[in-house]
Amino acid sequence: MTTPLDILAQAPSGYAMPWVVQPGQSVALHASLPHRTQIDIVHIGCANDERQTNGRPHGPAERITVLSEVPAVAHGPQVQRLVAGAQVRADCVGLPAWSELSLVLALQRMARGAPGHVLSLQGEDGLGISLELRAHKRRSATLVVSVQPGADALELNLPSGEWLLLVLDFKADGESIGSWKLRARTALCRATVPDGIAASWTESWLPVSTPPMGEPSQLHLGTQDESHTSADVRVDLVSVLPRVCIESLAPAGLLACEEDADGPALSSWEISALREPSAACLLRGRSGKGFSVHDLAQGATLVEPQRPYSAVRGVRWDGRFQGPQQSPAHYTAVHFNSDTLLDAHWEPTTVWPVPDDLASGSYAFRLRANDQEQPSFVSFFVSGASRPRHPVAVLLPTFTYLAYANAPEGMRGEPVTKVEHPAEMRLDAVHPAHGRSIYERHPDGQGVLWGSSRHPLWSVSPGHRPWGLVADSWLLEWLTSQGQLFDVITDHDLHRLGAAALEPYRMVLTGHHPEYTSTAMWDGLWRYLQNGGRMLYLGGNGFYWRTACDEEADVIEVRRAEDGTRPSIAPPGEYYCAFTGEYGGIWRRLGRPPQQIVGIGMAAQGFERASYYRKCDDAQAVEMAFVFEGVRAETFGHSGWWGGGASGWEIDRCDADLGTPVNTWWLARSEGHAESMLRTKEELLSYVLPFKDAKARSDVALVPVGRGDVFAVGSMTWIGALQGPDTKTTDVAKITSNVIRRFLDPAPLPRKHLTE
């Protein structure tokens, strides 16, 4: 019987490459089409599909325009497979014969997680040794070591949280001529405590009826195919080498290594194996872009269809060092998860050459299957960074879109109506098969660290509640309704080009939630403002998390270090980004609070309802009259489509101790929030009883930054208050329009004169 979920799961889906494209380049659609599907291209002016109970639009009307010059073309059916789970393949040449080698590895699993494939070492005939994790229980799991050909298997106990050091080799059976046994030497290791490494090996033996012939040629870690997915497991010291290199070593000897300031720290047995590099394969986790694993012997050809996490604690980690740069030997592990999906690896369905003269903005391939009532949208962005046209740019926070992409119900923002959203329903029908957001955990509790654009992104699409792209499209629609011409640029452009992405513009407007910021983005924005640029920061919780990026792979990375409002916490020793080596966490903890660059920073969050602002003394200054022209009341922002007010959800405030410039014009502060609007944890030193918290507020401020200026509103719901019922002008819209008009005037803005 076909269920509604089955129907939703049969919707066409896809992703675009590149996700951010320049005019004159081409963008490819990579789609899976269960049915015959019409594909055309649309411009997303406004993606709002919210409706009031009377059927009228809740906020600005949806405006999605078909590009008439691009004819619709039918494609499919063409179903493309998804194979999830981290995986690494190493093709090797010249390894020792089975009878002369040892296979070394260390494994660690958590108290929860999925069973599955750990590692296979095989010859050209596909036969060899296979390791599977089975019978996952909270306290322990069973590691099954099997030998092919045949059904011989050895079961080993793997306690949760412990490292198991394992050495496998074949030995001739002295009691029976021509017979062989597989020897498994194991030792439990916990380097973080004194005497935590077993003094000797525990040996187990498995009679082997038919040993593999010849020599191995391939190591395969993690997922093999759709029916053999990766276990949730961490592995380290994966090595195939001559048995003589380690035959006499105790467990401590296998882990021992000397720190070397001139190169990687290696153990004596690794050095011995590398003297004949063609006879060994030594796979180790690495920090950097491109790959998570490298072969110390440099003889293996590596492929990583789904990259495992690197820059994670290995079997040697003893707590003395907190990052790979301090002690690489403590960070040679890689972490495999059963549900990793960074790159779908789908073949392109169609390619569209973007016209040289196409206006920048948000676009999508629209997929309309014959049996689907609602289309699917595959978003992409045409950037104006390479060909600026207008003095105003909207900086769409595409790093934040990736961070929240495919987030589950609790992390999609607050619903603003009871309307069902097609994109969300389709996501729910397949989740997590199309990839997880970095607001989730893997089955073993490991926080999701990496987000990618190379898989379906249901959250960055029409048919979603106002959060991310849909929310920011309300700003684009409002600017269009005001007759304000603008270019669209993205976080990807700012990260790639730095200040050069912003310099052509008289001013830049942010979206409602620019939370994720790379160092290159922060530096570029700082230089732009220092040199006289102007910005309207029209959101909240901005410039919050340091974000690293592997540009070639279209992947961002976030390490949730030490503090901040976060969905998971990085374990001790795993605060450094694998891609860049930078210390992760919130910018406030990294010496660059948002207050330094935009005058305000994250203060509180609460989703019960939004509230309003009251003018401060600086609002009465003659120099600031232009801001409130046409807004005479002492309070404003009492209405809005998102929560009922202009100040809500996640809000920011001024703080001189954190870097708000002393000559900032403090224009307004919010009040009247619900008791559930609570200050963020990085603000508090200890637990306190509920109290009337004057710091749980958002501020409107005009902030001097070098020779530049920032108008900051400190609220995620400000954009939702730009338009009133029946497109009526609101006080929030008047204020925003006033500031845009003044910021377009090249005359210097007034500076606040301080008195002693």
Of the listed ranges 203-212, 242-251, 609-618, the one predicted with least confidence: 203-212
Find, among 552, 510, 533, 504, the residue nearest to 385 by Cα: 504
H-assigned helices in 333-437: 398-404, 422-430
Q: Amino acid identity, residue 94? A: G
* Percent helix, strand and coil across the chain, each to the nearest 5: 15, 35, 50
pLDDT the model gives residue 136: 67
Which pLDDT tens digit goes with each residue over 613-661?
Answer: 999 999 999 999 999 999 999 999 999 999 999 999 999 999 999 999 9
pLDDT the model gives residue 372: 76
* pLDDT above 90 (res 137): no
> Cα–Cα–Cα angle for 645, 648, 649, nearest 5°?
140
Q: Which residue has the tokens 């599955």?
A: 116
- For residue 277, name the pLDDT band (cuts at 50, 70, 90): low
Q: Return phi, psi of residue 719, to 5°.
A: -60, -35
Token pair for 480: 């269009």
Percentage with pLDDT > 70 across the chain: 96
Token pair for 376: 């699917």
Which pLDDT tens digit goes with each residue over 447-498?
Answer: 999 999 999 999 999 999 999 999 999 999 999 999 999 999 999 999 999 9
How large is the average pLDDT for residues 563-571? 88
pLDDT the model gives residue 177: 62
Find, among 755, 752, 736, 732, the residue nearest to 744 by Cα: 736
3-state secondary structure of 330: helix
* pLDDT above 70 (res 113): yes
pLDDT the model gives residue 3: 56
Which pLDDT tens digit goes with each residue over 79-107?
Answer: 999 999 999 999 999 999 999 999 999 99
* pLDDT above 80 (res 756): no
Residue-wise over 53-83: b if at least 16 C-beta within 10 A, else e? eeeebbbbebbbeeeeeeeeeebbebeeebb
pTM: 0.95
> Cα–Cα–Cα angle for 384, 388, 390, nearest 5°?
110
> Cα–Cα–Cα angle for 306, 267, 580, nearest 5°?
40
pLDDT the model gives residue 257: 85
Cα separation of 579 and 436, whole Å?
19
Find, among 257, 307, 260, the residue nearest to 286 by Cα: 307
Alpha carbon 706 to chain centroid, angstroms: 32
Q: Return phi, psi of residue 301, to 5°.
A: -95, 120
How large is the average pLDDT for residues 511-526? 98
Contacts of 389 (CB under 8 A, 6+ apart): 359, 360, 485, 487
C-beta separation of 356 from 23 below 8 A: yes
User: Rounded to whole angstroms, what are the CA distances from 217 to 93, 124, 125, 212, 252?
Assistant: 6, 6, 9, 12, 29
- For residue 259, name the pLDDT band (cuts at 50, 70, 90): low
pLDDT the model gives residue 290: 95
3-state secondary structure of 546: strand
pLDDT the model gives residue 483: 96
* pLDDT above 90 (res 355): yes
| Helix or strand (DSSP H, E) at 334 | strand 333-336
- For residue 583, name the pLDDT band (cuts at 50, 70, 90): very high
C-beta separation of 271 from 239 below 8 A: no
- For residue 371, name the pLDDT band (cuts at 50, 70, 90): confident
- Say if residue 750 is exposed, middle or buried (CB neighbours under 10 Å; 0-12, 13-18, 19+): middle
Token pair for 307: 């990259």
H-assigned helices in 431-575: 469-481, 491-497, 519-530
What DSSP line would sit under 184-211, residue for residue?
Answer: EEEEEE-TTSTT-B-SS-EEEEEEESS-
* pLDDT above 70 (res 317): yes
pLDDT the model gives residue 262: 58
* pLDDT above 60 (res 694): yes
Which pLDDT tens digit goes with each residue over 397-411?
Answer: 999 999 999 999 999
pLDDT the model gives residue 308: 98
Mean pLDDT taken over the chain: 94
Q: Return phi, psi of residue 471, to 5°.
A: -65, -45
- For residue 701, name the pLDDT band (cuts at 50, 70, 90): very high
* pLDDT above 90 (res 538): yes
Cα separation of 531 and 630, whole Å?
31
- For residue 211, name the pLDDT band (cuts at 50, 70, 90): confident
pLDDT the model gives residue 233: 96
Cα separation of 342 and 353, whole Å?
25
Cα separation of 569 and 575, whole Å?
9
Q: How many CB atoms lie within 10 A of CB 187?
A: 21
* pLDDT above 90 (res 8): no
pLDDT the model gives residue 358: 97
Which pLDDT tens digit goes with each residue over 145-199?
Answer: 999 887 779 999 999 999 999 999 998 876 666 678 999 999 999 999 999 999 9
pLDDT the model gives residue 555: 98
3-state secondary structure of 472: helix
DSSP 307: P
- For residue 668, name the pLDDT band (cuts at 50, 70, 90): very high
pLDDT the model gives residue 4: 52
C-beta separation of 315 from 162 below 8 A: no
Cα separation of 44 and 63, whole Å?
7
Handedness of CA 352, 353, 359, 361 (dihedral sign): positive
DSSP 486: -
| Helix or strand (DSSP H, E) at 741 | helix 731-744
Q: Which residue has the tokens 């990807």?
A: 492
| Helix or strand (DSSP H, E) at 9 | helix 4-9
Q: Which residue has the tokens 């209405």?
A: 639
Q: Return phi, psi of residue 116, to 5°.
A: 155, -165
Find, among 365, 411, 345, 378, the residue nearest to 40 by Cα: 365
